[in-house]
Each structure stands twice: as structure tokens, then as C-alpha cells.
Amino acid sequence: MQICFDNRNTGRSGGTGVATYATALADASKEAGFQVTWLSDGEKSHRAPRRLDERLKRQCRAFSASRKVKRTSAEHYECYDLYRTAHVRFQQTGRLSTLSASQCPDIMHWTYPLPITWPGTRNILTIHDLIPLINPNLTDISGTRMRHLLEACCQKAQAIVTVSESVRRDILEQLPISEDKVFNFYQTVDFSSALLKEAECAPDITEPGGFLYFGSIEKRKNIARLIEAHGRSGSSRPLTLIGAHGYRATEELAAIASHPKGEELIRQIPWCPRASLIRAIIKARAVLFPSLAEGFGLPVLEAMTLGTSVMTSQSHALGEIAGDAAILVDPYSLPSMTQAIKTLDENDTACSELIQKGLRHSSKFAKDIYAHKLAAFYREQSLLQLPL
């Protein structure tokens, strides 16, 4: 059986959670014995066109309801400038772009909502979260546009996959879709032995024994409260923030000025190689991830898998994913976050217990378990008749 994935979010500098998810899907599918292919747009750069003639050509392509896909190799399909053009078309018409090809994969799994459908194959869509719909104040993504896109995609998809029971409930509450079409498989984390060996030799980019946050620097991630809670805790351990700036990052980072030792203890790294990040996680006293809204919360699972204590939010998906293997806090409560940081700073026994709980808990998300569930799902989907 051949399964195709979009590469819209893979190969970007800095990496994204969706890219990690897409790679994990592909790896699990290969492990299950399926043939994996990728749908590319043939673009070497993700930048928007700058020249007028480039923009006009894209506008012209957007008028076409159907786009031709070519099989360029055993592992790749290609449709030039597909992803950006599809967004332009949806913006102009509110309609999805359709694909046509002389040969199709058995399953097309869209790893992120895109305004595209591929008739003749089973379309499966992953919805990671509904934050723009439920918490519009935490993102610059239009909730109205996202709702229209998701409703259009759900109408064409044969199945919807998501990454937590919390998001599955959100989908059933917010979107017109039947319960039997929505499946949760969580996510998996897998660190290859080669990558772990590379991490052993990587230089230290953070101070061992310090606190670590990694992810985008934005309002949704609760960075300002995290900085303030760290200052109130009185800890002398540095807090390193690893991640690129996102929505309202400047406002969040303004909290450094009010931190008693902000210039000394709050450190920022916009990006680092994967091996260096893994080393930083392993060497950290704890990973602090008190986000206000997540679909899954991959940093929590990554930290647990690598044997590092975790503080995270108690509600919605993060509370679900962390279980009893992390210190759970009210992300809107400074006293709650401050006390958690004090405990992690001072209590060696608590940290040791959290490490052991985290290792046991993370094993539930192991790659082989994930691959087995995913393979059964794909096989079941392949046997179902396509709609006329």
C-alpha cells in the first residue's frame, strides 16, 4: 500500500512541530511496511514571490480548479507551486484546489489543513488544534478563515486524525463532522541512537542544571508569566528560552526588564541544531512549558523521554499528555507557577521521582505502539469504498 504525505512544512529552517509530526508519520508507515511517497510543490524556497510577473503567474494558476500532479520518482509526486497557489485560490473563491494524476497513492494524508483534495484516493487530514477558533486572542491566525477552511476540508476528507482526546472533543464540538470519522493517535517521539550519540558530542549551549523552555516565543506560550514566575521563585538557576520569535514576542519578552536578575539569568537562543537541543534538554534541571493552549505539547513528551523533569499546564491537552508525570500548574496563576519552579529548584527527590515517572509515562507513546495503531488504521481505511 502506498501512502503519500504533503511536504508543506518539512525542510524548513528552524523546524516546526508539524514537520516533526510528518516525519514521524512517514517513519512509522515505513516501519509498518508501507511505501511512503511525498507530494512536493517543486519550490526550493518557501518565500512569497517578489517580482510582479511571479505574482501574476500565481494569480493565473489560482483560477484553475484542477492541478496536474506528476510522478517524478518512486518516492515523489510534484505539482509546481501547489501550496501557495491553493491558498490564493481559497482566499479568492472559498473553494479547494483538486488534484489529478495518471496514478494516485492509495492514501493521501494531509499533515496539516490545506485547501486541497485529491479525488481518486482516500484523503485523510490531521487537525492539530483549534486554537484560532477557541482562543483567537492567542494567535494571529484568522479564526473565521480557519473555520471555513476546516469545514471545506472535512467535507472532502474520508477521515480526520488528531493528536489528543482534548482536540478530538474540540473538533466534534466545533465542526460539522460525525464522531466515527475522527480518530486520535496522539504523537510519538523517537530519538535515534545516532542522534543521541551526536548530542553527546555537541557543545553545551545552555548551562547544565538550568531551566529550559523550547518552542516559539509567542503569547500563547505564556512566556511573560514564565519569566515573572522564575523571578519570583528566587532561583539562581538560569532560564534559557530556545525558539524563534512569533506572535507578540516583544510584549512577552518585556517581562525580562522586571525580573530581579533578568539580564543575568534569562537567556535567549533563537535557533540551534537538533543535537544541541537534545543535549540542552538532557542537561537541564527541568523543562518549563506552561503554555496556554496546545494540541499536544511535544516538548513535554520529548523531555520525559530524555529523562528530564517537566512543569506544564494542568488543563486541556497538556494535562492529558503529561498525566501524573509532571508538575501541573494553573498557567494563569503566578503563585502556582512560582511554587512549581521553587520545588524543581530545591527538591532533588521530587525531580528524581518526576524523571522516573516521566520515563515510564513516555513509554506509552513509543514508536512501535504508534506504528502499530497507525498501520491498522491505514489498512482499515484502504478497504473502505471511496465516495462517488
pLDDT of residue 65: 84
What is residue 62's predicted lDDT score, i.e. its pLDDT?
83
Spell out where 87-147 has E strands: 97-100, 107-110, 116-117, 122-126
Question: What is residue 59's predicted lDDT score, i.e. its pLDDT?
Answer: 76
Number of H helices, E strands in the chain: 16, 17
Residue 386: the pLDDT is 87
Please give the grid coordinates belonging to residue 180.
466515527
Residue 32 · residue 69 · CB < 8 Å: no
- CATH number for domain 2-188+367-383, candidates 1.10.10, 1.10.1060, 2.40.30, 3.40.50: 3.40.50
Same fold, 2-188+367-383 and 193-364: yes
pLDDT confidence of residue 16? 75
DSSP state of 386: P
Q: Examine the pLDDT at 13 and tell me if it is beyond 90.
A: no
CATH tag, 193-364: 3.40.50.2000
Residue 238 and residue 264: Cα distance in Å, rounded? 8
Structure confidence at residue 56 (pLDDT):
72
Residue 187, judged by CB atoms within 10 A of its CB (0-12, 13-18, 19+), counts as: buried
- pLDDT confidence band for 63 (50 / 70 / 90): confident
List, for residues 239-285, the tens digit of each pLDDT value.
999 999 999 999 999 999 999 999 999 999 999 999 999 999 999 99
Is pLDDT larger for residue 385 or for residue 45? 385
Per-residue model confidence as pLDDT tens digits over 139-188? 999 999 999 999 999 999 999 999 999 999 999 999 999 999 999 999 99
Q: What residues does 319 pair with on adjacent strands?
A: none
Ranges of beta strands (E only) in the chain are 2-6, 35-40, 66-68, 70-73, 76-78, 97-100, 107-110, 116-117, 122-126, 159-162, 182-184, 211-214, 239-242, 266-269, 286-289, 309-313, 327-329
Cell of 374: 497507525
Give me the pLDDT at residue 14, please.
Answer: 57
Share of the chain above pLDDT 90, in %: 90
195-200 own/partner pairs: CB under 8 Å, 24+ apart: 195/274, 195/275, 195/278, 196/278, 198/275, 199/275, 199/276, 199/278, 199/279, 199/282, 200/279
Whole-number Å distance between alpha carbons of 248 and 27 = 35
Contacts of 269-273 with C-beta under 8 Å, sequence gap 24+, read 269/205, 269/206, 269/240, 269/241, 269/242, 269/243, 270/242, 270/243, 270/244, 270/245, 271/13, 271/14, 271/242, 271/243, 271/244, 272/205, 272/242, 273/202
Given a cut of 90, is residue 218 above it in pLDDT? yes
Count CB atoms within 10 A of the CB of residue 35.
Answer: 14
Contact (CB, 8 A) for 146 and 43: no
- Residue ranges per structural domain of the chain: 2-188+367-383, 193-364
The rounded distance, in Å, linking the Cα atoms of 373 and 375 is 6
Contacts of residue 112, defined as CB under 8 A and 6 or more positions apart, other chains included, come to: 6, 8, 9, 18, 126, 128
Helix H or strand E encompassing 303? helix 298-305
Nearest-5° Cα angle at 25, 22 to 28: 150
Give the C-alpha separation, 347 to 357, whole Å: 16
Residue type, 380: E
For residue range 14-57, what is the model confidence (pLDDT) as tens digits? Answer: 567 899 999 999 999 999 999 999 999 997 655 566 677 777 77
Confidence grade of residue 61 (pLDDT, cut at 50, 70, 90): confident
Measuring CA to CA, how many Å separate 4 from each of 74, 75, 317? 11, 9, 28
